[in-house]
Amino acid sequence: MDAFLQQFQNLKIQLEEIILATNNFDNQNNCIGRGGFGKVYKGEVSHSKGQSMVAIKRLDCRHGQGAPEFLKEITTLSRYCHENLISLLGFCHQEDEMILVYEYASRGSLDRYLNSPLLTWTQRLKICLDVAKGLSYLHDPRETHQRLIHCDVKSSNILLDEQWNAKVSDFGLSVMGPANEQYSVIVILAAGTPGYCDPQYAMTHTLTKESDVYSLGVVLFEVLCGRLCCTYSNGCVQQILVPTWIESYEEKKLYDIIFKDPTIQPLEQSALKTFSNIAYRCLKESREDRPKMAEVVTELETALDNEEFSNWINPLIDYDEMSKNAETPLNCSSKDEVRKFLSKGVLLKGGKTWISLNKKGERCGMVSFAECLDSDPNEFKSVFDSR
Protein backbone atom coordinates (compact mmCIF):
# COMPACT_ATOMS: atom_id res chain seq x y z
CA MET A 1 0.00 0.00 0.00
CA ASP A 2 2.81 2.42 0.85
CA ALA A 3 4.29 2.05 -2.64
CA PHE A 4 0.90 2.88 -4.18
CA LEU A 5 0.44 5.92 -1.95
CA GLN A 6 3.77 7.40 -3.05
CA GLN A 7 2.03 9.09 -5.97
CA PHE A 8 -0.20 11.01 -3.52
CA GLN A 9 2.53 12.34 -1.23
CA ASN A 10 1.20 15.90 -1.58
CA LEU A 11 -1.93 14.75 0.29
CA LYS A 12 -0.15 13.10 3.20
CA ILE A 13 -0.84 14.42 6.71
CA GLN A 14 1.05 13.26 9.78
CA LEU A 15 -0.82 11.26 12.41
CA GLU A 16 0.55 13.50 15.13
CA GLU A 17 -1.20 16.54 13.65
CA ILE A 18 -4.50 14.66 13.33
CA ILE A 19 -4.34 13.46 16.92
CA LEU A 20 -3.71 17.03 18.03
CA ALA A 21 -6.55 18.42 15.90
CA THR A 22 -9.09 15.88 17.21
CA ASN A 23 -7.87 16.01 20.82
CA ASN A 24 -6.83 12.36 20.50
CA PHE A 25 -10.10 11.40 18.75
CA ASP A 26 -12.29 12.87 21.47
CA ASN A 27 -15.71 11.26 20.99
CA GLN A 28 -17.53 13.74 23.20
CA ASN A 29 -16.33 17.04 21.75
CA ASN A 30 -14.92 16.27 18.31
CA CYS A 31 -16.96 13.40 16.91
CA ILE A 32 -19.50 14.67 14.34
CA GLY A 33 -20.72 11.41 12.82
CA ARG A 34 -20.40 7.67 12.59
CA GLY A 35 -21.34 4.88 10.22
CA GLY A 36 -20.28 1.52 8.81
CA PHE A 37 -16.80 2.92 8.11
CA GLY A 38 -16.15 4.10 11.67
CA LYS A 39 -16.31 7.66 13.04
CA VAL A 40 -15.86 11.18 11.67
CA TYR A 41 -14.23 13.94 13.69
CA LYS A 42 -13.76 17.65 13.13
CA GLY A 43 -10.53 19.53 13.68
CA GLU A 44 -8.25 22.16 12.15
CA VAL A 45 -5.19 20.91 10.26
CA SER A 46 -2.75 22.04 7.58
CA HIS A 47 -3.42 20.30 4.28
CA SER A 48 -2.81 20.45 0.55
CA LYS A 49 -4.89 23.63 0.15
CA GLY A 50 -3.83 25.49 3.28
CA GLN A 51 -5.18 25.31 6.83
CA SER A 52 -8.83 25.05 7.80
CA MET A 53 -11.47 23.14 9.72
CA VAL A 54 -11.82 19.67 8.17
CA ALA A 55 -13.75 16.43 8.54
CA ILE A 56 -11.54 13.50 9.55
CA LYS A 57 -12.83 10.00 8.74
CA ARG A 58 -11.13 7.26 10.76
CA LEU A 59 -11.74 3.90 9.09
CA ASP A 60 -12.48 1.02 11.44
CA CYS A 61 -11.55 -2.37 9.96
CA ARG A 62 -13.78 -4.12 12.50
CA HIS A 63 -16.81 -2.64 10.69
CA GLY A 64 -15.89 -4.05 7.29
CA GLN A 65 -14.07 -1.05 5.83
CA GLY A 66 -10.44 -1.53 4.96
CA ALA A 67 -7.65 -0.92 2.47
CA PRO A 68 -9.76 -1.23 -0.74
CA GLU A 69 -12.22 1.47 0.33
CA PHE A 70 -9.42 3.65 1.69
CA LEU A 71 -7.44 3.49 -1.56
CA LYS A 72 -10.55 3.95 -3.71
CA GLU A 73 -11.49 7.18 -1.92
CA ILE A 74 -8.01 8.58 -2.42
CA THR A 75 -7.81 7.54 -6.06
CA THR A 76 -11.31 8.73 -6.91
CA LEU A 77 -11.37 12.10 -5.18
CA SER A 78 -7.89 13.05 -6.34
CA ARG A 79 -9.08 12.48 -9.92
CA TYR A 80 -12.66 13.76 -9.90
CA CYS A 81 -13.08 17.41 -8.87
CA HIS A 82 -16.41 19.23 -8.99
CA GLU A 83 -18.12 21.83 -6.81
CA ASN A 84 -20.85 19.30 -5.95
CA LEU A 85 -18.46 16.53 -4.91
CA ILE A 86 -16.82 16.60 -1.50
CA SER A 87 -13.11 17.45 -1.77
CA LEU A 88 -10.37 15.21 -0.40
CA LEU A 89 -7.75 17.36 1.35
CA GLY A 90 -5.45 14.68 2.67
CA PHE A 91 -4.94 11.25 4.20
CA CYS A 92 -2.90 9.47 6.84
CA HIS A 93 -1.60 5.92 6.82
CA GLN A 94 0.54 5.39 9.91
CA GLU A 95 0.58 2.85 12.75
CA ASP A 96 -2.21 0.79 11.15
CA GLU A 97 -4.41 3.90 10.96
CA MET A 98 -6.30 4.66 7.74
CA ILE A 99 -7.62 8.21 7.91
CA LEU A 100 -9.18 10.41 5.23
CA VAL A 101 -9.39 14.20 5.52
CA TYR A 102 -12.17 16.05 3.69
CA GLU A 103 -13.45 19.59 3.33
CA TYR A 104 -15.75 20.41 6.23
CA ALA A 105 -19.47 20.56 5.42
CA SER A 106 -20.66 22.41 8.50
CA ARG A 107 -24.35 21.53 8.27
CA GLY A 108 -23.81 17.78 8.05
CA SER A 109 -25.81 15.35 5.95
CA LEU A 110 -29.14 15.87 4.19
CA ASP A 111 -30.94 13.10 6.09
CA ARG A 112 -30.89 15.32 9.21
CA TYR A 113 -33.00 17.99 7.50
CA LEU A 114 -35.62 16.04 5.55
CA ASN A 115 -38.42 17.11 7.91
CA SER A 116 -36.86 20.39 9.00
CA PRO A 117 -38.63 23.75 8.48
CA LEU A 118 -35.16 25.27 8.11
CA LEU A 119 -35.25 24.23 4.46
CA THR A 120 -37.61 26.10 2.14
CA TRP A 121 -38.80 24.42 -1.04
CA THR A 122 -36.41 26.58 -3.03
CA GLN A 123 -33.51 25.29 -0.93
CA ARG A 124 -34.75 21.70 -1.20
CA LEU A 125 -34.91 21.89 -4.98
CA LYS A 126 -31.50 23.57 -5.13
CA ILE A 127 -29.96 20.76 -3.03
CA CYS A 128 -31.44 18.11 -5.35
CA LEU A 129 -30.13 20.00 -8.37
CA ASP A 130 -26.65 20.19 -6.84
CA VAL A 131 -26.62 16.42 -6.32
CA ALA A 132 -27.79 15.74 -9.87
CA LYS A 133 -25.08 18.04 -11.25
CA GLY A 134 -22.38 16.21 -9.29
CA LEU A 135 -23.60 12.82 -10.50
CA SER A 136 -23.97 14.06 -14.09
CA TYR A 137 -20.31 15.09 -13.99
CA LEU A 138 -19.38 11.56 -12.93
CA HIS A 139 -21.62 9.87 -15.51
CA ASP A 140 -20.87 12.02 -18.56
CA PRO A 141 -17.19 12.90 -18.41
CA ARG A 142 -16.89 14.09 -22.04
CA GLU A 143 -13.48 12.45 -22.44
CA THR A 144 -11.94 14.24 -19.45
CA HIS A 145 -11.97 11.13 -17.28
CA GLN A 146 -13.53 7.68 -17.01
CA ARG A 147 -17.18 7.34 -16.08
CA LEU A 148 -17.77 6.74 -12.37
CA ILE A 149 -20.84 5.06 -10.90
CA HIS A 150 -21.25 6.06 -7.26
CA CYS A 151 -23.21 2.93 -6.15
CA ASP A 152 -24.31 4.37 -2.81
CA VAL A 153 -26.31 7.54 -3.45
CA LYS A 154 -28.43 8.28 -0.36
CA SER A 155 -29.36 11.30 1.75
CA SER A 156 -26.79 10.48 4.44
CA ASN A 157 -24.05 10.65 1.77
CA ILE A 158 -25.11 14.15 0.68
CA LEU A 159 -23.33 16.80 2.72
CA LEU A 160 -24.34 20.45 3.11
CA ASP A 161 -22.04 23.41 3.61
CA GLU A 162 -22.81 26.68 5.43
CA GLN A 163 -24.69 28.07 2.38
CA TRP A 164 -26.69 24.83 1.96
CA ASN A 165 -24.73 23.82 -1.14
CA ALA A 166 -24.90 20.04 -1.56
CA LYS A 167 -21.88 17.80 -2.11
CA VAL A 168 -21.91 14.08 -2.86
CA SER A 169 -19.60 12.09 -0.57
CA ASP A 170 -18.44 8.55 0.28
CA PHE A 171 -16.99 6.92 -2.83
CA GLY A 172 -15.88 3.71 -1.10
CA LEU A 173 -18.24 1.57 -3.20
CA SER A 174 -17.87 3.46 -6.47
CA VAL A 175 -17.06 1.64 -9.70
CA MET A 176 -15.18 3.03 -12.70
CA GLY A 177 -16.26 2.34 -16.27
CA PRO A 178 -15.41 3.40 -19.85
CA ALA A 179 -16.11 7.03 -20.68
CA ASN A 180 -16.77 6.54 -24.38
CA GLU A 181 -19.63 4.04 -24.21
CA GLN A 182 -23.27 5.11 -24.17
CA TYR A 183 -24.21 1.95 -22.30
CA SER A 184 -21.69 0.26 -20.03
CA VAL A 185 -22.72 -2.78 -18.00
CA ILE A 186 -20.49 -3.98 -15.18
CA VAL A 187 -21.04 -7.36 -13.53
CA ILE A 188 -20.21 -7.07 -9.85
CA LEU A 189 -21.33 -8.37 -6.47
CA ALA A 190 -24.26 -6.12 -5.55
CA ALA A 191 -23.58 -3.56 -2.85
CA GLY A 192 -25.50 -0.57 -1.57
CA THR A 193 -28.04 0.45 1.04
CA PRO A 194 -31.51 -1.11 1.44
CA GLY A 195 -34.21 1.15 0.06
CA TYR A 196 -31.84 3.06 -2.21
CA CYS A 197 -30.33 0.16 -4.16
CA ASP A 198 -31.55 -0.36 -7.73
CA PRO A 199 -33.69 -3.56 -7.71
CA GLN A 200 -32.26 -4.57 -11.12
CA TYR A 201 -28.74 -4.26 -9.74
CA ALA A 202 -29.64 -6.27 -6.64
CA MET A 203 -31.26 -9.07 -8.67
CA THR A 204 -28.88 -9.38 -11.62
CA HIS A 205 -25.59 -8.01 -10.20
CA THR A 206 -25.29 -5.93 -13.37
CA LEU A 207 -24.42 -2.33 -12.67
CA THR A 208 -25.08 0.65 -14.96
CA LYS A 209 -25.16 4.40 -14.42
CA GLU A 210 -28.96 4.10 -14.31
CA SER A 211 -28.51 2.41 -10.93
CA ASP A 212 -27.39 5.79 -9.57
CA VAL A 213 -30.41 7.38 -11.28
CA TYR A 214 -32.71 5.05 -9.32
CA SER A 215 -31.00 5.90 -6.03
CA LEU A 216 -31.28 9.61 -6.76
CA GLY A 217 -34.99 9.13 -7.44
CA VAL A 218 -35.36 7.71 -3.93
CA VAL A 219 -33.56 10.78 -2.51
CA LEU A 220 -35.84 13.10 -4.50
CA PHE A 221 -38.89 11.43 -2.97
CA GLU A 222 -37.31 11.67 0.48
CA VAL A 223 -36.96 15.42 -0.01
CA LEU A 224 -40.53 15.65 -1.35
CA CYS A 225 -41.99 13.62 1.53
CA GLY A 226 -39.73 14.91 4.29
CA ARG A 227 -38.72 11.49 5.58
CA LEU A 228 -36.30 8.61 5.04
CA CYS A 229 -37.22 5.90 2.54
CA CYS A 230 -37.17 3.21 5.25
CA THR A 231 -38.59 2.76 8.71
CA TYR A 232 -36.47 0.93 11.26
CA SER A 233 -37.05 -1.27 14.29
CA ASN A 234 -34.21 -2.32 16.59
CA GLY A 235 -31.70 -1.12 14.03
CA CYS A 236 -33.17 -3.24 11.22
CA VAL A 237 -35.21 -2.17 8.20
CA GLN A 238 -38.88 -2.61 9.00
CA GLN A 239 -40.51 -1.14 5.88
CA ILE A 240 -39.33 0.35 2.58
CA LEU A 241 -41.63 3.21 1.60
CA VAL A 242 -40.60 3.54 -2.05
CA PRO A 243 -43.44 1.31 -3.41
CA THR A 244 -45.95 3.40 -1.44
CA TRP A 245 -44.53 6.62 -2.89
CA ILE A 246 -44.71 5.25 -6.44
CA GLU A 247 -48.31 4.16 -5.89
CA SER A 248 -49.25 7.58 -4.48
CA TYR A 249 -47.83 9.28 -7.56
CA GLU A 250 -49.60 6.94 -9.99
CA GLU A 251 -52.93 7.38 -8.17
CA LYS A 252 -52.49 11.19 -8.09
CA LYS A 253 -52.38 11.25 -4.30
CA LEU A 254 -49.14 13.20 -3.86
CA TYR A 255 -50.79 15.53 -1.36
CA ASP A 256 -51.12 12.58 1.03
CA ILE A 257 -47.34 12.09 1.18
CA ILE A 258 -45.79 15.49 0.45
CA PHE A 259 -43.95 17.26 3.27
CA LYS A 260 -46.08 19.94 4.91
CA ASP A 261 -45.05 22.57 7.43
CA PRO A 262 -47.12 25.65 8.32
CA THR A 263 -43.98 27.80 8.60
CA ILE A 264 -42.86 27.41 4.98
CA GLN A 265 -44.64 28.33 1.77
CA PRO A 266 -46.07 25.29 -0.10
CA LEU A 267 -44.35 24.07 -3.23
CA GLU A 268 -45.65 25.83 -6.36
CA GLN A 269 -47.87 23.53 -8.44
CA SER A 270 -45.92 23.54 -11.71
CA ALA A 271 -42.68 23.00 -9.76
CA LEU A 272 -44.31 20.11 -7.91
CA LYS A 273 -45.49 18.56 -11.18
CA THR A 274 -42.04 18.77 -12.80
CA PHE A 275 -40.17 17.64 -9.68
CA SER A 276 -42.44 14.68 -8.86
CA ASN A 277 -42.51 13.57 -12.51
CA ILE A 278 -38.72 13.33 -12.83
CA ALA A 279 -38.46 11.64 -9.42
CA TYR A 280 -41.03 9.05 -10.52
CA ARG A 281 -39.26 8.41 -13.83
CA CYS A 282 -36.00 7.79 -11.99
CA LEU A 283 -37.71 4.89 -10.20
CA LYS A 284 -38.92 3.13 -13.34
CA GLU A 285 -38.40 -0.64 -13.15
CA SER A 286 -36.81 -0.80 -16.58
CA ARG A 287 -33.45 0.96 -16.79
CA GLU A 288 -34.20 1.98 -20.38
CA ASP A 289 -37.18 4.00 -19.12
CA ARG A 290 -35.14 5.97 -16.60
CA PRO A 291 -33.83 9.40 -17.62
CA LYS A 292 -30.14 10.18 -18.07
CA MET A 293 -28.62 12.21 -15.27
CA ALA A 294 -28.24 15.20 -17.62
CA GLU A 295 -32.01 15.16 -18.21
CA VAL A 296 -32.61 15.01 -14.45
CA VAL A 297 -30.48 18.17 -14.15
CA THR A 298 -32.55 19.94 -16.83
CA GLU A 299 -35.88 19.01 -15.23
CA LEU A 300 -34.75 20.04 -11.75
CA GLU A 301 -33.56 23.38 -13.14
CA THR A 302 -37.05 23.89 -14.58
CA ALA A 303 -38.70 22.99 -11.26
CA LEU A 304 -36.39 25.37 -9.40
CA ASP A 305 -37.07 28.19 -11.89
CA ASN A 306 -40.82 27.71 -11.46
CA GLU A 307 -40.56 27.71 -7.68
CA GLU A 308 -38.37 30.82 -7.62
CA PHE A 309 -40.70 32.56 -10.05
CA SER A 310 -43.73 31.84 -7.85
CA ASN A 311 -41.99 33.63 -4.99
CA TRP A 312 -41.70 36.88 -6.96
CA ILE A 313 -44.24 39.10 -5.26
CA ASN A 314 -44.66 42.70 -6.41
CA PRO A 315 -47.84 44.25 -4.97
CA LEU A 316 -47.18 47.46 -6.95
CA ILE A 317 -47.87 45.76 -10.27
CA ASP A 318 -51.45 45.35 -11.50
CA TYR A 319 -50.98 42.18 -13.52
CA ASP A 320 -54.57 42.06 -14.76
CA GLU A 321 -54.43 45.62 -16.09
CA MET A 322 -51.06 45.02 -17.70
CA SER A 323 -52.39 41.89 -19.40
CA LYS A 324 -55.30 43.86 -20.90
CA ASN A 325 -53.07 46.67 -22.19
CA ALA A 326 -50.47 44.47 -23.83
CA GLU A 327 -49.89 45.06 -27.55
CA THR A 328 -50.61 41.37 -28.11
CA PRO A 329 -53.33 40.33 -25.59
CA LEU A 330 -52.08 37.85 -23.04
CA ASN A 331 -54.40 34.88 -22.76
CA CYS A 332 -53.54 33.90 -19.21
CA SER A 333 -55.62 31.98 -16.70
CA SER A 334 -53.63 33.08 -13.66
CA LYS A 335 -51.27 35.77 -12.42
CA ASP A 336 -48.50 33.18 -12.41
CA GLU A 337 -48.89 32.85 -16.17
CA VAL A 338 -48.81 36.65 -16.54
CA ARG A 339 -45.60 36.79 -14.52
CA LYS A 340 -44.06 34.14 -16.78
CA PHE A 341 -44.88 36.28 -19.81
CA LEU A 342 -43.40 39.29 -18.05
CA SER A 343 -40.17 37.45 -17.39
CA LYS A 344 -39.68 37.60 -21.17
CA GLY A 345 -41.22 41.08 -21.52
CA VAL A 346 -44.36 42.57 -23.12
CA LEU A 347 -45.13 45.64 -25.22
CA LEU A 348 -47.62 48.21 -23.87
CA LYS A 349 -49.09 51.56 -25.02
CA GLY A 350 -49.32 50.68 -28.66
CA GLY A 351 -45.86 49.22 -28.75
CA LYS A 352 -44.14 52.29 -27.26
CA THR A 353 -43.22 50.78 -23.87
CA TRP A 354 -41.47 47.53 -23.03
CA ILE A 355 -42.04 46.11 -19.54
CA SER A 356 -40.42 43.05 -18.01
CA LEU A 357 -39.59 41.55 -14.62
CA ASN A 358 -36.09 40.62 -13.56
CA LYS A 359 -35.25 37.56 -11.45
CA LYS A 360 -35.99 39.49 -8.25
CA GLY A 361 -39.47 40.34 -9.46
CA GLU A 362 -38.52 43.99 -9.97
CA ARG A 363 -40.17 46.00 -12.75
CA CYS A 364 -37.89 47.03 -15.59
CA GLY A 365 -39.12 49.39 -18.29
CA MET A 366 -37.87 50.76 -21.60
CA VAL A 367 -39.53 53.68 -23.39
CA SER A 368 -39.37 53.84 -27.19
CA PHE A 369 -37.83 56.80 -29.01
CA ALA A 370 -41.24 57.46 -30.62
CA GLU A 371 -42.84 58.04 -27.24
CA CYS A 372 -40.09 60.46 -26.33
CA LEU A 373 -40.85 62.48 -29.49
CA ASP A 374 -44.53 62.72 -28.53
CA SER A 375 -43.64 64.62 -25.36
CA ASP A 376 -42.84 68.32 -24.94
CA PRO A 377 -39.33 68.75 -26.41
CA ASN A 378 -38.57 71.40 -23.74
CA GLU A 379 -39.51 69.02 -20.92
CA PHE A 380 -37.05 66.40 -19.79
CA LYS A 381 -37.90 63.80 -17.16
CA SER A 382 -35.93 61.07 -15.49
CA VAL A 383 -37.81 57.78 -15.50
CA PHE A 384 -36.74 55.35 -12.77
CA ASP A 385 -35.35 52.05 -14.00
CA SER A 386 -36.01 52.83 -17.66
CA ARG A 387 -34.22 54.13 -20.68
- Name the residues annotated as catalytic: 152
Residue type, 76: T
Residues in the chain, total: 387
DSSP string, 286-333: SGGGSPPHHHHHHHHHHHHHHHHHHT---TT--HHHHHHTBSS----S
E strand or H helix at 240, and its extent? strand 236-240
Q: How far are the Cα atoms of 55, 64, 75, 125, 376 from residue 4, in angstroms, in the given order?
A: 24, 21, 10, 41, 81
Reading across the β-sheet that carries 38-47, which strands appear in turn? Answer: 31-35, 38-47, 50-59, 97-103, 88-94
Residues 6+ apart with CB under 8 A from 205: 187, 188, 189, 190
Q: Would the annotation count 273 as a binding residue? A: no
Q: What is the H or E stretch that residue 44 is in?
A: strand 38-47
Binding positions for ATP: 57
Binding positions: 57
